[in-house]
């Protein structure tokens, strides 16, 4: 027996030791032993994914007060601390060995310095608590896409969230034994306040040791910082995909129904709060995933899977009209975790739900009343803008039957969408793979939103909606996507969408439900059932096709005036967009010349069009 197993035998009771030892993985034993030595928990619970173990996680989260029950059976609520409401860019860093460096745009710290800091904060952090050891899998179980993961945490809420968001993985570890190459996550909520929320957010640290496929997280409970298989593991997955020649993407997966009963699969990359989840859950279509997708070239086809098995979605503006599929789940019995909403008499309330919100209740700030202010004198809203819900995808009536298919699904379309107020039209198709990847993906632009800690409303290039999570040079990431088409015989079409285009009066030109029409135009387009007009920025729909689709999909009259306003090419704004993208990538190391050629070519097309038609070019000019 190894030294690590000897130590673990002395710290774990017989049943928990037996469950861990049965996996016969010394690297795993080393990780768990180190976590126990460092964090000094009172006891250790090793989950074997039995019904009893899964239920214990939910029961304990309620028993210790990390969650509270709500009126509807199976629904619970969790509150993060008032300063722990989103992903923290500043506190999330890569641990970089001496002599190495990641891209300048990536937040990083020397590995030895960072390890000393974060391990110092973790030391003794679990005293008096239980360490929960969870085994999960990214991607379907027993698949070429599968990545085994282990997370050690002292938060039953985090463990409960894992139940809903990922596939359990104890059997995968049991099958693979010492052949399991896994990601590991160590998390402690740190010091807790009387509401069982992390109390020292100023000491929040989320550090990624990409050289060891390991994540450290401390003094936070917000799931984006603590459920390590989410965006934290995505950073590790991107490096793994880079080494092995496949793609890890921040994308939803959606099965779109077409005429004659056909179904085409779409993937889409949108920054948080830019319409990603609402697109993934369009009524009448089939949701396969809402956040992270893996792509592999298999027999010349682009095959895709959802890395996750659940949805950790922003709840603001979820209403019966805008999101009927998720509203149904949130309004009926079943397992749901709400976070950072308002609770009154056991009922959850959130911003934009389509009904009146009470003027008092309990929220992330404690007892809340209308007009309550925080320490800076700013009024506290009834629910946080970044309030969330967690549910299993299978709980959705429109979940896709291919969710657990180990071979994945054949991908037909890739979409990029940001929060672009002034430039791109609502939907357009790239001339080819490379144009779409660069002009819509690499040049994806948005403004910062409430989903990250910091100032809102700041315009920024957010490359492929994955810039926050890339652990390799940005130029290398773009090049990997460009090169991927060379492995395919059937290359997906690439589209750009913009749900946030504004008119001269500052009002949005897209209706909330219009996105469904854009999706169906794309579906008809890839099957050569609708035409397009060639513009300097891409291929746009024809009015006669959209007129029919608005009637079919939304039972809505679509006017030529709306069409002209939405699909006018705004030359001045588009030129500024291209220049911002070019400037951004000139500052990055290793960005390939092809990227600049595509951006410059689009800039030249815009300049030529301006010379012929002026600064604002209506669609009829392209007939």
Residues labelled as active-site residues: 274
What tokens does 174 get?
A: 């049991």
Which of 222, 185, 2, 214 lies closest to 91 in space, CA to CA?
222
Other C-beta atoms lying within 10 Å of the C-beta of residue 62: 15
SS3 123: coil
Which tokens sit at 383? 């629910």
Q: Which residue bears the tokens 């039957």?
A: 401
Q: Chain-centre distance of CA 510, in angstroms?
A: 23
Q: Identify whether the C-beta of residue 62 lies closer than 8 Å to the C-beta of residue 160.
A: no
Q: Which two tokens stand for residue 45?
A: 């619970």
Q: What contacts 299, CB < 8 A, 6 or more positions away?
A: none
**DSSP reduced 3-state for 496:** strand
Q: What secondary structure, in 3-state letters, does 63-84 show?
A: HCCCCEECCCCCEEEECCCCCC
**In angstroms, rounded to a whole number, what is the distance separating the alpha carbons of residues 430 and 425?**
13
Count of Cβ atoms closer than 10 Å to residue 29 Cβ = 22
Residues paired with 556 in a beta bridge: none
Longest Cα pair distance anywhere in the chain, in angstroms?
80
Query: Collapsing DSSP states into helix, strand and coil, what is residue 12?
Result: coil
DSSP symbol at 420? -
Q: How far is CA 481 from the centre of its chain?
A: 19
Task: For residue 378, count other CB atoms closer than 10 A to its CB.
Answer: 8
Q: Which residues of 400-426 are buried (b: 16+ CB within 10 A; e: fewer)?
A: bebbbeeebbebbbbbbbbbbbbbbbb
* CB neighbours of residue 380 within 10 Å: 18
């Amino acid at each position: 027996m190894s030294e690590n197993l000897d130590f673990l035998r002395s710290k774990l009771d017989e049943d928990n030791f037996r469950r861990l030892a049965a996996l016969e993985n010394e690297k795993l034993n080393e990780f768990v032993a180190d976590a126990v030595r460092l964090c000094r928990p009172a006891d250790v619970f090793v989950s074997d994914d039995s019904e009893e173990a899964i239920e214990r996680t939910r029961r304990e989260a309620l028993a210790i007060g990390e969650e509270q029950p709500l009126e509807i059976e199976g629904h619970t609520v969790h509150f993060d601390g008032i300063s722990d409401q989103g992903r923290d860019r500043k506190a999330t860093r890569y641990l970089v060995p001496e002599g190495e460096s990641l891209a300048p745009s990536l937040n990083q710290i020397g590995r030895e310095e960072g390890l000393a800091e974060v391990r110092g904060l973790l030391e003794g952090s679990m005293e008096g608590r239980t360490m929960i050891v969870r085994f999960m899998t990214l991607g379907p179980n027993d698949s070429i896409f599968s990545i085994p993961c282990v997370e050690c945490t002292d938060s039953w809420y985090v463990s409960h969230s894992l139940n809903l968001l990922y596939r359990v993985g104890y059997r995968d570890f049991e099958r693979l034994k010492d052949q399991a190459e896994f990601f590991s996550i160590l998390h402690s909520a740190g010091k807790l306040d009387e509401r069982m929320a992390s109390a020292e957010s100023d000491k929040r640290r989320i550090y990624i040791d990409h050289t060891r496929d390991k994540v450290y997280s401390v003094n936070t409970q917000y799931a984006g910082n603590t459920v390590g298989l989410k965006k934290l593991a995505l950073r590790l997955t991107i490096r793994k995909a880079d080494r092995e020649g496949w793609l890890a993407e921040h994308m939803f997966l959606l099965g779109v129904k077409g005429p004659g009963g056909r179904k085409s699969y779409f993937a889409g990359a949108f920054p948080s709060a830019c319409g990603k989840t609402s697109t993934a859950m369009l009524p009448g279509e089939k949701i396969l995933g809402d956040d992270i997708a893996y792509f592999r070239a298999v027999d010349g086809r682009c095959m895709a899977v959802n890395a996750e098995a659940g949805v950790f979605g922003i709840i603001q503006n979820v209403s019966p009209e805008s999101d009927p599929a998720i509203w149904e789940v949130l309004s009926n019995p079943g397992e749901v975790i709400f976070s950072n909403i308002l609770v009154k008499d056991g009922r959850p309330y959130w911003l934009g739900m389509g009904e009146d919100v009470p003027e008092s209740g309990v929220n992330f700030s404690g007892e809340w009343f209308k007009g309550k202010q925080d320490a800076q004198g700013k009024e506290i809203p009834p629910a946080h803008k970044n309030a969330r819900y967690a549910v299993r995808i299978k709980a959705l009536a429109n979940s896709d039957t291919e969710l657990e298919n180990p071979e994945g699904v054949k991908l037909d379309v890739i979409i990029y969408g940001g929060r672009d107020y002034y430039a791109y039209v609502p939907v357009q198709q790239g001339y080819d793979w490379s144009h779409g990847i660069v002009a819509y993906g690499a040049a994806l632009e948005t403004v910062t939103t409430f989903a990250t800690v910091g100032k809102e409303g700041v315009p920024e290039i957010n490359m492929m909606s994955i810039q926050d999570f890339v652990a390799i040079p940005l130029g290398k990431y773009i090049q990997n996507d460009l090169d991927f088409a060379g492995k395919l015989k059937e290359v997906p079409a690439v589209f750009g969408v913009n749900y946030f285009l504004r008119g001269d009066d500052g009002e949005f030109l897209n209706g909330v439900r219009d996105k469904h029409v854009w999706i169906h135009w794309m579906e008809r387009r890839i099957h050569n059932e609708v035409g397009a007009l060639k513009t300097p920025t891409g291929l746009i729909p024809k009015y006669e096709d959209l007129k029919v689709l608005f009637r079919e999909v939304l039972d809505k009259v679509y006017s030529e005036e709306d069409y002209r306003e939405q699909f006018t090419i705004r030359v001045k704004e588009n030129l500024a967009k291209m220049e911002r993208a070019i400037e951004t990538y000139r500052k990055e190391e290793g960005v390939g010349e092809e990227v600049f050629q595509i951006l410059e070519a689009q800039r030249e097309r815009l300049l030529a069009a301006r010379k012929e038609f002026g600064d604002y070019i209506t669609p009829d000019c392209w007939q």
